[in-house]
């Protein structure tokens, strides 16, 4: 494969790195004082996502602070519903709020022109970040996976049990297929647009994959992801795709082979030795528990070294198994990166 000189991108393409490249899910966010300062000037969270100047600045903050190998676009997994014309609000302490949709409601319409207009600010953010990034840093775009995005649309927000979504999927699976189909179409369009705007790798977040039994996981997570990966590979063969099927446990290897993703993000519960043995040919990414970044101390150092050592010799990207939490001291993030790089 062709080397790019970008450690993260090369690793996602299957190169075994001398030391693992690193980025952290939610590396741009509330735990950073410079984020909170900027956040207080913006309106709603959605306003911030759709403000290219501020969203680009937020994306770059952790790159300046930690020299991460990857910059992940500051945005949200609910941009696809937004692009489909669905109102998405974020209320303080409540998470996202949408009008719930069900099997008897009209399906959302994917109209490329209108969708493009609504996501245009996100693409402007991508271009601004790309222009500002140091050349060795890989710009990562992303989208929510269709299943995960569907749960928010059907539940009207976050959920503990996904009751409405599963009831729809189990009772009217063909109709649910059609909702997923629309989301696949929109997600392909959205990820391709991010790649056109300068994203060099793409991550698909299936945050609620673990809620699905194996047959449903295959149908509504692995298979739709495969269609997205095939489409991206067709239009953007140099842009690797990272799939993150959180909570999928023993189904992760079949997700990896079935979806064809270039790299698999591992959640905190996944044993690394098992993962590398079950997926010898796939780049892996993960999986420090973000609570270790809160705890800090010698325990954090030991965990970073354990993960690095467990994955030595494998194409591996150091990351968390879940996003950084707001109460994380930024100096613990710096420490983890320094230990990983052998600088501490």
Taking residue 17's Cβ as centre, other Cβ atoms within 10 Å add up to 19
Sign of the Cα torsion 80, 82, 86, 91 reads positive
Q: Nearest Cα to 275, choosing from 305, 299, 245?
A: 245
> Is residue 207 involved in binding a copy of itself (CB under 8 A)?
no
Instruction: Determine contact, residues 117/59, Cβ cutoff 8 Å.
Output: no
Q: In angstroms, rounded to a whole number, what is the distance separating the alpha carbons of residues 182 and 164? A: 19
Q: Tell me how far, at minimum, the Cβ of 27 lies from a copy of itself, in Å.
A: 18
Which residues in the 156-195 window bind a copy of itself by CB under 8 A?
A: 160-163, 166-167, 170-171, 173
> Is residue 251 involved in binding a copy of itself (CB under 8 A)?
yes
> Is residue 223 involved in binding a copy of itself (CB under 8 A)?
no
The residue within the footprint of a copy of itself, chosen from 120, 312, 325, 338 (CB under 8 A), is 325
Q: Tell me how far, at minimum, the Cβ of 303 lies from a copy of itself, in Å.
A: 8
**Which token pair is 198?**
């300068």
> Is residue 295 involved in binding a copy of itself (CB under 8 A)?
yes
Residue 135, classed as helix, strand or coil, is coil
> Is residue 52 involved in binding a copy of itself (CB under 8 A)?
no
Instruction: Determine contact, residues 276/314, Cβ cutoff 8 Å.
Output: yes
Known catalytic residue: 76?
Answer: yes
Instruction: Determine contact, residues 115/185, Cβ cutoff 8 Å.
Output: no
Q: Tell me how far, at minimum, the Cβ of 158 lies from a copy of itself, in Å.
A: 9
Alpha helices in 50-172 (DSSP H): 52-66, 79-83, 112-132, 146-155, 163-171
Q: In angstroms, rounded to a whole number, what is the distance separating the alpha carbons of residues 122 and 128? A: 10
Q: Tell me how far, at minimum, the Cβ of 137 lies from a copy of itself, in Å.
A: 28
Listed ranges 31-39, 104-112, 130-138, 284-292: which one lies at the site for a copy of itself (CB under 8 A): 284-292
The catalytic residue positions are 26, 30, 39, 76, 152
Q: Using CB under 8 A as the criterion, which residues of the chain lie in contact with a copy of itself when the complex forms?
A: 160-163, 166-167, 170-171, 173, 210-217, 247-252, 254, 268-272, 274-275, 278, 287, 289, 291-292, 294-295, 297, 299, 306, 321, 325, 327
């Amino acid at each position: 494969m062709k080397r790019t000189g970008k450690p993260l991108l090369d690793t996602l393409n299957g190169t075994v790195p001398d030391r693992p490249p690193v980025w952290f899910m939610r590396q741009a966010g509330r735990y950073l004082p410079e984020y909170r300062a900027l956040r207080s000037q913006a309106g709603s969270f959605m306003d911030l996502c759709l403000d290219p100047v501020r969203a680009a600045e937020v994306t770059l903050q952790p790159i300046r602070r930690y020299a991460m190998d990857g910059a992940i676009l500051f945005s949200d997994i609910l941009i696809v519903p937004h692009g489909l014309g669905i109102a998405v609000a974020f209320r303080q302490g409540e998470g996202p709020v949408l009008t719930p949709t069900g099997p008897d409601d009209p399906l959302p319409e994917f109209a490329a022109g209108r969708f493009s207009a609504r996501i245009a600010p996100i693409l402007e953010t991508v271009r601004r970040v790309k222009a500002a990034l140091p050349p060795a840093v890989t710009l990562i775009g992303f989208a929510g996976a269709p299943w995960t995005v569907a749960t928010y649309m059907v539940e009207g927000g976050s959920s503990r049990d996904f009751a409405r979504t599963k009831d729809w999927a189990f009772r009217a699976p063909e109709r649910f297929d059609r909702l997923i189909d629309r989301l696949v179409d929109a997600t392909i369009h959205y990820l391709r647009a991010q790649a056109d705007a300068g994203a060099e790798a793409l991550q698909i977040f299936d945050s609620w994959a673990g809620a699905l039994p194996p047959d449903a996981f295959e149908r509504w997570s692995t298979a739709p992801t495969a269609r997205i990966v095939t489409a991206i590979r067709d239009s953007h063969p140099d842009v690797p795709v990272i799939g993150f099927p959180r909570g999928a446990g023993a189904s992760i290897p079949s997700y990896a082979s079935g979806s064809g993703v270039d790299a698999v993000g591992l959640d905190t519960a996944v044993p690394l030795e098992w993962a590398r043995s079950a997926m010898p040919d796939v780049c892996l990414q993960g999986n420090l528990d973000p609570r270790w970044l809160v705890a800090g101390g010698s325990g954090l150092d030991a965990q970073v070294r354990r993960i690095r050592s467990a994955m030595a010799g494998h194409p591996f990207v150091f990351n968390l198994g879940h996003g950084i939490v707001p109460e994380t001291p930024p100096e613990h993030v710096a420490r983890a990166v320094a230990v990983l790089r052998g600088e501490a």
